[in-house]
Structure 1
Amino acid sequence: MKISKLAMIAMVACGMSGANAFGDQANNISLVSHCAVAACDCGEPVCGCEAVAPSCDSGCCDSGCDSAGCVDLGCLAGDCCLGDPWELFGSTDSGWSAGGWLQTGYSSKSIPLFNNRDNELQLQQAWLFAEKAIDTSCGFDIGGRIDYLYGTDGPNTQAFGIDNNSWDNSWDNGPDNLGYGQAIPQLYMEAGYGDLSVKVGHFYTIIGWEVVQATGNFFYSHAYTMNNSEPFTHTGALATYNVNDDVTAYGGYVMGWDSGFEDNGDAFLGGLSVGLTDDLTVTYATVGGVFANNQNSYAKGYMQSIVADLALSDNLQYIFQTDYLTADNRDDSKQRETFDINQYLIYTVNDCWAFGGRFEWYNEEGIYSAVGNDADIYALTLGANYKPHANVTVRPEIRWDWDDDQVVGLEDGDSQTTFGIDSIFTF
């Protein structure tokens, strides 16, 4: 299986240079507004989809007209005038800001990822952050950020990669990962000058497209890839250099995966993000070296993620992701190997509504199955994002998982249908 995976990676890499689009590593979903009135000189929109221009004589409005002027078909179901969200402590002239969010969720069945509590309403993320963003437009600047998390997602983003109770790894209450916990997933300083900035401390990874933060994902549930084959946090130093408007380079040293401020290995973390066209961004990120160096666990290897983000239209976004991970034990025997392809399709109706789908093929060896016996797992998710208020997002979804080898532990054996819904309130 290893040869076939490497061959497929080569084919994917060759194909990307010609056709595919790669995702924004910041993982913020840039839902394109359905109203593009200003772009065609029909006047600035007053609120949401309400157009100022009284007529369509200019021919710029191609979505329909009535006696009142330009009408966007995406707004026929009603106006979507959200306004500005309320902020706890918005950015000041000094660059300081503070805020957070509350995420509550419900899943009809257990999924062995983040949503591992079935049939129970849970507080997954009570999140607070304080940040001083750097501004290097006038020269040197210094800043930093701290994040605090409490909830059922807490144990999943602690420094669990090291086998002692250092940093936040013991801040749990409840059995194993089924209980509530606390974490400080980010605590770093950042300094920059011009196009170069350096982050030093404990921070989230640049690997992949999905993130731990609920506000950074379209879907409520997570992919197997994100949960099992990608690091969540690193401790070390990471430099970011904006080569030009279209190219950003990353590079730095980190102490393994998912550890606090104790040495858990020596690894390189880096990548390159390239805007190939106005509609297509390709991001390659990698981490290689020693991922864990503990008394009870050791892992060394290589992991890469390639993400393509393509705007098919003003409203339709396509994301393609493929990851590859290989890791060995201290004696050079294979520990685990995974390969995957994730695809996302997101359609934005207006500022209030968006619909999306995700399909994942996850091939693993050493994660759920034994080394030497790889297994294929598939998952299809369909969902929506609804914003009834500028500070509130509701994300219902239905998900189908298939596991012919029955290695994952789905409630229904080799397949499972799960309904999930969550609500995020930002402040």
Structure 2
Amino acid sequence: MRISKLAMIAMIACGMNAANAFGDQATDISQVSFCAAESCDCGEPVCGCEPMAPSCDSGSCDSGCDSAGCLDMGCLDMGCLGGECCLGDPWELFGSTDSGWSAGGWMQLGYHSNAIPLFNNRPDEVQLQQAWLYAEKAIDTSCGFDIGGRIDYLYGTDAQNTQAFGIDNNHWDNGWDNGSTDNGYGHAMPQLYAEAGYGDLSVKAGHFYTIIGWEVVQATGNFFYSHAYTMNNSEPFTHTGALATYNVNDNITAYGGYVLGWDSGFEDNGDAFLGGLSVGLSDDLTVTYASVGGVFQNNRAGGTDNYVKGYMQSIVADLALSDNLQYIFQTDYLTAEDRVGGTVAETFDINQYLIYTVSDCWAFGGRFEWYNEEGIYSAVGDSADIYALTLGANYKPHANVIVRPEIRWDWDSDEVAGLDGDSQTTFGIDSIFTF
């Protein structure tokens, strides 16, 4: 790995000017609320103490109230981009009840002008990438023991990338394709797990998303439409096994568990440890370390010995530079070998994100990635550097709608990544409708 290039990457990122997620992988992108009033609660959460919604009588809305909450004038006073930005509450299919059950989903339609690895690999066509449904019973351990769980279903062109493809035997959801694999559309069930907890400790068991990295599979959890190379190629998407979460204190959360390899269904595809530590170093900075080590893949589907063992780690630092500006730094490392110790892949990357939130309706961001790889696009024994710069925006015209246009520049050192020559420029845009 050519670590000497770190200085160059830092210089590029500083000149850009232009979020992690565990369980259901919902990335926390901090956006300042300009219109919604502060919630009125009763202090620290305790058993039987439920938060109360703000009302006009409470005096929470300084700019005045109507039946929906703050008046539009409140937004104008705050200088929202384009004028009014009072989105109100989004409509939900089945909001959380007193029992903790909820259900919902989203529809994602997208277009991009060039192929990008994995998720955005069907250029020049409008496609349904994610038609998503979920049902969940969130656990509440403030009163003691509780039990819950979650199930997710996905249809679209992203489904084949989130199936249990770690074992190529069409078990679990790996064969749920709509026609041939060239058609692109398919079905997936990326999560199906039960969760139990008591106090500060909870354990989930079943099929669930990884805790590795900052970008996630769900379209609703990412700022950008496209994905980073490292998320596509060097991180697992799902695991099957058991994972414990322990809140050590208000600033430290620990994770640890056993999983059956990478991206497999309910059958043995290896034996690996999955764990990590998230530490709030200050009110503005959180650092998360997550790793998986052991056997990632162990099957003989199709008469081929598909055995991979190794170690993979991700370190993510999330820093609030101001009330409006968020900076994320991520570095991943992967080393993988075959059964006899030969190198399968080795990668190292640095991803940097800068996100500026103007209002509840508008945010702008930039992402710069340096991806050094061996065995992913280049041959084992060689290595190549791949770079990608993405600039984009998030626009919410409605509480249930988000539009994400972006422009992306990719280039590589050895013409290995399947780009248009050694570089390409890609325009992409998608819309997400939540319910």
Contact 2:114 2:426 in 1 (8 A): yes
Q: After TM superposition, give the deviation of residue 403 of structure 1 in Å.
A: 1.5
1:341 pairs, out of 341, 350, 360, with 350
Per the alignment, residue 171 of structure 1 pairs with 176
1:376 pairs, out of 378, 385, 405, with 385
Per the alignment, residue 248 of structure 1 pairs with 253
Q: After TM superposition, give the deviation of residue 413 of structure 1 in Å.
A: 1.0
Q: 1:416-427 alignment to 2 at 5 Å?
A: 416-427=424-435
- Hey, what's the Cα distance between the residues in 2 that align with 1:8 and 1:291? 29
Per the alignment, residue 332 of structure 1 pairs with 341
- Hey, what's the Cα distance between the residues in 2 that align with 1:301 and 1:164? 22
Contact 1:270 1:285 in 2 (8 A): yes
Q: After TM superposition, give the deviation of residue 72 of structure 1 in Å.
A: 5.0
**Residue 383 of structure 1 aligns to which amino acid in structure 2?**
G
CA gap 1:93/1:70 in 2 versus in 1, 3 angstroms: closer
- Hey, what's the Cα distance between the residues in 2 that align with 1:96 and 1:24? 20
Q: After TM superposition, give the deviation of residue 163 of structure 1 in Å.
A: 2.1
Per the alignment, residue 102 of structure 2 pairs with 97
Contact 1:23 1:320 in 2 (8 A): no
Contact 1:140 1:192 in 2 (8 A): yes
* 1:79 and 2:84 matched: yes
Q: 1:54-133 alignment to 2 at 5 Å?
A: 72=77, 74-75=79-80, 77-133=82-138
Identity of aligned residues (%): 81
Contact 1:202 1:235 in 2 (8 A): yes
Q: After TM superposition, give the deviation of residue 111 of structure 1 in Å.
A: 1.1
Q: After TM superposition, give the deviation of residue 110 of structure 1 in Å.
A: 1.1
CA gap 1:203/1:269 in 2 versus in 1, 3 angstroms: same
* 1:213 and 2:218 matched: yes
Q: 1:143-162 alignment to 2 at 5 Å?
A: 143-162=148-167
- Hey, what's the Cα distance between the residues in 2 that align with 1:365 and 1:287? 19
Q: 1:267-306 alignment to 2 at 5 Å?
A: 267-295=272-300, 296=304, 297-306=306-315
The CA RMSD measured in Å over matched residues stands at 2.3
**CA deviation vs aligned residue, 1:125-181 (integer Å, no higher than 9, x gap):** 000000000000000000000000000000000000012111000111244365101
Secondary structure of the residue aligned to 1:135 is coil
Contact 2:35 2:75 in 1 (8 A): no
**CA deviation vs aligned residue, 1:266-305 (integer Å, no higher than 9, x gap):** 0000000000000000000000000000113110000000
CA gap 1:37/1:326 in 2 versus in 1, 3 angstroms: same
Q: 1:200-239 alignment to 2 at 5 Å?
A: 200-239=205-244
CA gap 1:70/1:335 in 2 versus in 1, 3 angstroms: closer
CA gap 1:416/1:141 in 2 versus in 1, 3 angstroms: same
Per the alignment, residue 52 of structure 1 pairs with 62
- Hey, what's the Cα distance between the residues in 2 that align with 1:402 and 1:8? 16
Q: After TM superposition, give the deviation of residue 51 of structure 1 in Å.
A: 6.4
CA gap 1:342/1:178 in 2 versus in 1, 3 angstroms: farther
Per the alignment, residue 329 of structure 2 pairs with 320
**Residue 389 of structure 1 aligns to which amino acid in structure 2?**
H
- Hey, what's the Cα distance between the residues in 1 that align with 2:133 and 2:168? 27
Contact 1:365 1:374 in 2 (8 A): yes
* 1:392 and 2:401 matched: yes
**TM-score of the superposed pair, with normalisation by structure 2:** 0.86
Which runs of structure 1 show a deviation greater than 4 angstroms over 4 or more consecutive aligned residues? 22-26, 34-39, 68-73
Contact 1:23 1:310 in 2 (8 A): no
Structure 2 unaligned segments of length 5 or more: list them: 10-18, 40-53, 65-72
- Hey, what's the Cα distance between the residues in 1 that align with 2:63 and 2:163? 53
- Hey, what's the Cα distance between the residues in 2 that align with 1:166 and 1:248? 34
- Hey, what's the Cα distance between the residues in 1 that align with 2:193 and 2:81? 46
Contact 2:81 2:362 in 1 (8 A): no
Per the alignment, residue 30 of structure 2 pairs with 30
* 1:367 and 2:376 matched: yes
Contact 1:303 1:324 in 2 (8 A): yes
Contact 2:139 2:148 in 1 (8 A): yes
Secondary structure of the residue aligned to 1:114 is helix
- Hey, what's the Cα distance between the residues in 1 that align with 2:36 and 2:434? 26
Q: 1:8-23 alignment to 2 at 5 Å?
A: none
1:310 pairs, out of 301, 311, 319, with 319
- Hey, what's the Cα distance between the residues in 2 that align with 1:250 and 1:123? 34
**TM-score of the superposed pair, with normalisation by structure 1:** 0.87
